Every structure is written in structure tokens, then in C-alpha cells.
Structure 1
Amino acid sequence: MRGLPIGASSGSPSPLLDVLGASWALGAPVAGVAWDGDLAGFGLGDGSLAMGRAQWQGGPQLEPVEGGTRLIPATQAQPPATRLRVHDGACLAIARHPGGGFLTGGDDGVLAGTDAEGTVTVLARQPGRWIDLVASGASGWTAAASGRQVALGGLGQHMLDLPATATALAFDAGGGRLAIAHYRGVTLWSPDAPVRVLVTPGCPLSLAWSQDSAYLVAGLQENALHGWRLSDAGDIEMGGYPGQPRSLSFSAGGRILASSGAPRVVCWRFDPPGEGSTPIECGLPSSRLPVCRVACHPTRPLIAAGYHNGAVLLCQPGSDDVLFVKSSGGGSVTALAWSDDGERLALGTQGGEAGLIPLPGLLFRFASSDPTSTPASGAVRHE
């Protein structure tokens, strides 16, 4: 990576969030974050939805200069986040609404849609139940899980019964297949095929599809990963984690799977995967605190990693270089997501801190498009 200082040894004056981004103290745990274009929505533990943008009139700006990038400081303070009361209890999950805005589920049994203007629409109500998980696909399908049932909507109405409580939802890149994790398995649903169940050796807590939908991987409660090559249901086992890999993300192109569950980001090769292969790592080399969230950039060989102490950084597989986005504090990182174009990063913490950082392409020039290559270093000028 060239254009910004990397790591503590590079003399970076402060994390990117402090000099380039927008941040808010929201006073309630961040349950999740989703993007709708350049608008980010944060689902909060007090039942509200906070919305904001990473850039504003009079905010900090970047411009290219010879040998790096110049930062022009803000001339106006950031605006407050827009905050709306959506749920009577806690907001438990959030996803982008296919029609624009955000889809949220809460412990009040309400599935709600909120548009960018702040209009809230109750889409479903299940009194006495929790809507624990929500997801949306690129095709327009939506999914909302409550216990052992998953309601499909958007392009039709389906109710799917599961053998156990749903623990994770994930649509594939095309939005036509939904993976639902539950005890001892993952159920696959699509509108034009019979339901299929993939068996796991334990309890899956997280899911990730490769970009070509050839592979599906689950992070297990038993401190391991279990994956499948979906063409023939071939099994893939990856273990050795000191903690639970609750966050998974495939790199651009699908060659690398990044995972939490260790003091550094654990990365597995998927070109193709092989049992017994040794993972590569990135992140802080001396960290004793666990990585709790990972998010791969949608187009570049870059991984955002959130730590238990609230710190967020950028790294590349196989490299010890890091670029700090947020310093420690605010509780563990509970939400981390790139915008679809990769120009912005959103983060949230258990302590109610929320942040948005613009990260345009001019900040980064990579030595190679290979996600395992070592990034080049550089510097930024401040004015």
C-alpha cells in the first residue's frame, strides 16, 4: 500500500478516523451496519437506527501530490447522525433493503424498512418473538430469521422451517441462494431448487460465500472452520483457532478467506483450498487481543480488521504492515463493512461508537494485485 503511512513504526500522526472520517458517540451498542450507496445505517441496541455519511460540505479532503497524498483539514464540523426510533426493544440485525434504505429486525418481533428520508414501514410483526437475523440479496430477495423459522420476502413469500435455531444468514453474490446456519448443519434455499442441507460437525456461527459461489464456509463454535465445494459437496476442514471464528470474509476474486478468532487475521488460500494447508496471517504481530471482525475490500487486496479492544486497522495477508483506522476504546468492534464501491468503511463498537471513513483509491497503490503480495509503503502530507 502506498500513499499513507503504515503501522506504528511509520510515524502515522493519528488514526484515519480522527483526521479523515466522521464519528459519533451513539450511547447504545452497535448491533450491525449496512450501506445504501454512500449512506450508512447503524442498528442500535436501544431500538434506534442511526444514519450518516462519511463526507460532508466543508469536511476534510484528499488530493494527490507527487509522491503521495495531501490532506486538507476540515473547515466545518461534521453534522450529527440522523437518528430514528424503529423498534420498541433492541435492534438485533440490519441489512440493506433491496428497494433502498435499510431492513432491521428487533426483539419486539418487528421487521421494519426505513428509507433514506427516515420513513419507517413495518413489514412484518411477530409478537412475543425476536427477529434475530436479517439479510438481503442482490437479486431482491430478503430473509428474516426468528428461532427455527426463516421468512423469505422481496420477490415472493416463503416460510422455511429449520431443524434448529438459525445462527447466521448469507446470500451468495448473485442473491439467488441463501445459506442458513443452524446446529449441525447449513440449509441451502433457492426459489428454483429443492432445499438442501449440508452437515457440519458442530454448531456454525458465521457464514461466507466465495464470489463465484463455488465455496461456502462456516465458522464453528468449536474453534474451527468447515467448508464445502458446492459442485460435489466436498468437505474442507480448517482448524487450530484459539477462539471462535465468528467473522468471515472472502477477498476480491475469492482467492483468500479472512477470518477472526485469533490475535491476528487468519487467511486461508482458496485457489484451490487444500486440507492441511498452512494459513497466512496479517494484523498486529504482537497482539494478544483477539480479532473479532474482518471485512475484505470488494476490489482491492486489503482487509479491515476490528479488535476486541475497539481498534480497527487495514492489513494485507502475509504482511506485518498495518494502517490504523481507529484507536482502541469504545468496547469491542461489533460491526465492520465496506461500501459496495470500496470507497468507504463503516465501523461500530459495543460501547456505541460509530465511524465512517472515506478511503478512495488514490490512497492506495499496490505493488501487486496478488492478495498475498507485500504492500509498498509511502507517506501523506498534512496541511
Structure 2
Amino acid sequence: MPDLKAFAPQGMLHEGWTAQVDDYALACGWTGDGDNLLVGDVAGGLSLFAGKTGELIWSKNNIHQGGLLALAIHPKGDLFATSGQDGCVLIWDSQRGEILHSIKPGKGWVEHLAWSVSGDMLAVAASKNVHIYHPDGVERWRTEEHPSTVSAISWSKPDELATACYGKVSFFDITRQQVAQELKWQGSLVSMVLSPDGDIVACGSQDNSVHFWRRSTGLDAEMTGYPGKPSQLAFDQSGQFLATGGSDQIIVWNFQGDGPEGSLPGQLVLHPEPISTLAFAHDGLILASGARDGSVFVWLLDHNGDGNPLGGAFTAEKISAVCWKSDDTALAAIDSDGRVSVWPFKIRG
């Protein structure tokens, strides 16, 4: 294995810029029209950087007492929401870095946030409850209490929210304010991702497996044999390929036709340590991956789910998130040492 620490950006990842935040960088995303990069750290710090140069536009400290837990950027990029161990949810103006609304859903930590596709609703998961808010902070509805702590949330339709907890995935019709569907499985679900059409639901499990359902048929299946918990899950924009972590290899399942049952998955092998984050580009079968050793690679998948690296780079510590710019012309990565890296990306052609 080559010494990744000696790597400058390789292939289609080009020299960009780096910056530093004060603590473990937890989450990031592109704001506005994709021009600026927002980074949140576990201590409750926020920093907005100019996407092309890395110039610091504004920064905030200690926005949540006890630390930051989640960050979600509005689809239009002009707003974002944060939550923390203080049980508060804050809605911000992205450009100015000003708090517009403050929400207190309950007494517990707020670990998960998700804007609807249109941005007219914000889902907030706090312990066993999920609340739905308008962008002005006014509560629209709340679900009944789940049987255990909500481990993941995701919008399956413009007005339908999926939640995962121990033993089941639930779908809530927000307009009718009722449960639309429940998919049950006796196990601890630690992560969840939906195909773009909302039909396929995949969850990483505490028992080192990936469990999935097809909502249209109600049929479910399980992919086992992972060395660790597959907390990292990502669907491509077509819904054909599901990339999963759980080891130092990326396992890619093909959902085309009757797959993935009875088929062999693709394998992407280059990271020397376990995968810590995955993200497909907005267009095409291009996947970015980060690992615990600080390595970042970009892959081009083929029709079987196998693939070749298009580029790579190395930061300093465990990669906590990778994030594509909306037009896929740049890739951002943040790590546990607070390092922020942005590389321009260009497909040859």
C-alpha cells in the first residue's frame, strides 16, 4: 500500500484549498447557489467559507450549549438549521449567519434534522418523538411517541417522512397526519437511506448487516457478512446502486431487475482503513468515499457496481463527511482534526 500521506491530490481531484476549524468537524454543506461551504464542529462552532478561495466569511462559537449534533441546509441554500445537546433547534440565515428562529421541541437532545424536498417543512427527531415545523419555527404536527429512540429520518415524498427505530421503519403522511406504512424487523436499525423514488428502504443494523424492503411489494431481504456496522449508506440518483460501508471495502449492491438478491455485489478496494462516509455525485455513477485514515477517493462505477478510482487525496485524520457541490465541480471533505479541504473536480472529456 502506498504512503497516502505523501499524496497530493491525484487524478481528477485538483489542488484546491484547506482551512481549519476549532474542533472535530461534524457536518458540512454548500449554501446559497452552492458558492459557499458551511462547516459545523462538535463544540458548537459554525464557519462559512467562500467555496472557491476558502476565505472565511463568518464564524460563530458555542451556538449550542454542550455541543452541536446536527446541521441541515435548506434546499434553496438561504437557510439552515442546527440542533444540539441543549435540546434546541435554531434556524439561521445562511449569508449573514444570524439566528432567525429558536425552537425547543422537548427535554431531550435533538440528533436528527431533515428539510423536505421543497423546503416548506423541517423534520426534527428528539428522543422518541418527531416534530414537523414550518421554516418560521411554527410547529405543524408531531408524531406519536416511537417505541424507542429514533435513529434516522428521511423524506420519502414531498409530504411523507420515514423514520427508523428499533424494530421498524415508519412512514408518516404529514398532510393526513397519520401513519401510512410500517415495515417491521426485529433488530436495531442504526442508519437508513431511501432510493430516490422512495420505494427501496435500506437500513444498517447493529448486527453488522444491511436490511432492505421494497415498499411496493412489501418484500424484504438482508445482506450479511459485514465486519462492522454498515452505518454508511448511499444510493445513486438512479436508485440502481446502493453503496455501503462496514469495512475498508465499499460494497455496492445492484438493485436493477431482480437484484440484489442472489447476485454478487461490486467491490471498491483501495482504502487502507474502514470507510467513514460515502456520497454519490448529483449526476452520473460517481461516488466519493472517505475513511478513518484520512484518505478520500472518487470512483466511477460500471454497470455491475464495480469501479475504478478517478482521483484521490489525503487529509490528516478520520474523514467525518464528504459533500459534492451542486454542479459536481468541487468536492469538500472535513475530518476529526477540524481540517476542511475542497478540491475542484473535473471529468475528462
TM class by smaller structure: 0.7 to 0.9
Unaligned 5+ residue runs, structure 1?
1-6, 57-77, 366-383
| Counterpart residue number, 1:316 | 300
Aligned-partner Cα distance in 1 for 2:281–2:219? 27
Are positions 1:326 and 2:313 aligned together? yes
| Counterpart residue number, 2:68 | 91
Code of the residue aligned with 1:326 in structure 2: it is A
Deviation at 1:21, TM superposition (A): 2.1
| Counterpart residue number, 2:146 | 162
* Shift in CA distance, 220/364, structure 1 to aligned 2, threshold 3 Å: farther
| Counterpart residue number, 1:301 | 285
Deviation at 1:178, TM superposition (A): 1.5
Are positions 1:189 and 2:172 aligned together? yes
Are positions 1:152 and 2:132 aligned together? yes
1:48-67 alignment, distance < 5 Å: 48-56=45-53
Deviation at 1:228, TM superposition (A): 1.1
Deviation at 1:348, TM superposition (A): 1.4
* Shift in CA distance, 264/53, structure 1 to aligned 2, threshold 3 Å: farther
Conserved? CA contact 2:7–2:314, under 8 Å: no
Deviation at 1:13, TM superposition (A): 6.6
Aligned-partner Cα distance in 1 for 2:69–2:235? 24
Aligned-partner Cα distance in 1 for 2:100–2:273? 41
Aligned-partner Cα distance in 1 for 2:55–2:37? 14
Secondary structure (helix, strand or coil) at the match of 1:87 reads: coil
- Select which of 111, 136, 160 maps to 2:89: 111
| Counterpart residue number, 1:63 | none
Secondary structure (helix, strand or coil) at the match of 2:56 reads: coil
| Counterpart residue number, 2:19 | 24
| Counterpart residue number, 2:162 | 179
Deviation at 1:84, TM superposition (A): 1.4
Deviating more after overlay: 231-240 vs 340-349: 340-349
- Select which of 185, 197, 200 maps to 1:200: 185
Conserved? CA contact 2:252–2:306, under 8 Å: no
* Shift in CA distance, 27/226, structure 1 to aligned 2, threshold 3 Å: same
Percent identical: 25
Secondary structure (helix, strand or coil) at the match of 2:110 reads: coil
Deviating more after overlay: 266-275 vs 321-330: 321-330
Aligned-partner Cα distance in 1 for 2:299–2:238? 17
Higher relative contact order (CA 8 A, sep 6+): 1
| Counterpart residue number, 2:247 | 262
Secondary structure (helix, strand or coil) at the match of 2:149 reads: coil
Conserved? CA contact 2:268–2:307, under 8 Å: yes
Aligned-partner Cα distance in 2 for 1:154–1:22? 36
Conserved? CA contact 1:24–1:81, under 8 Å: no
Aligned-partner Cα distance in 2 for 1:210–1:132? 22
* Shift in CA distance, 283/338, structure 1 to aligned 2, threshold 3 Å: farther
| Counterpart residue number, 1:66 | none
Aligned-partner Cα distance in 2 for 1:228–1:320? 26
| Counterpart residue number, 1:369 | none
Conserved? CA contact 2:279–2:323, under 8 Å: yes
In the TM superposition, what whole-angstrom CA distance separates every residue of 1:332-380 from its partner, at most 9, and x where no partner exists? 21112223332332221122112223324xx344xxxxxxxxxxxxxxx
* Shift in CA distance, 101/343, structure 1 to aligned 2, threshold 3 Å: farther
Are positions 1:355 and 2:341 aligned together? yes
Deviation at 1:81, TM superposition (A): 5.5
Conserved? CA contact 1:33–1:41, under 8 Å: yes
Give the strand-richer structure, 1 or 2: 2
Code of the residue aligned with 1:167 in structure 2: it is S
* Shift in CA distance, 328/137, structure 1 to aligned 2, threshold 3 Å: same
| Counterpart residue number, 1:132 | 111
Conserved? CA contact 2:24–2:336, under 8 Å: yes
Deviation at 1:168, TM superposition (A): 1.1
Deviation at 1:88, TM superposition (A): 2.4
- Select which of 39, 44, 57 maps to 1:42: 39
Deviation at 1:54, TM superposition (A): 2.4
Deviation at 1:49, TM superposition (A): 1.3
| Counterpart residue number, 1:211 | 196
In the TM superposition, what whole-angstrom CA distance separates every residue of 1:208-240 from its partner, at most 9, and x where no partner exists? 111122211111111111111111221122122
- Select which of 328, 331, 340 maps to 1:342: 328
* Shift in CA distance, 154/283, structure 1 to aligned 2, threshold 3 Å: farther
Code of the residue aligned with 2:229 in structure 1: it is Q
Secondary structure (helix, strand or coil) at the match of 1:20 reads: coil
Unaligned 5+ residue runs, structure 2?
none
* Shift in CA distance, 13/352, structure 1 to aligned 2, threshold 3 Å: closer
Conserved? CA contact 2:295–2:315, under 8 Å: yes
Conserved? CA contact 1:53–1:356, under 8 Å: no
TM-score (norm. length: structure 2): 0.86
- Select which of 92, 96, 99 maps to 1:120: 99
Conserved? CA contact 1:34–1:41, under 8 Å: yes
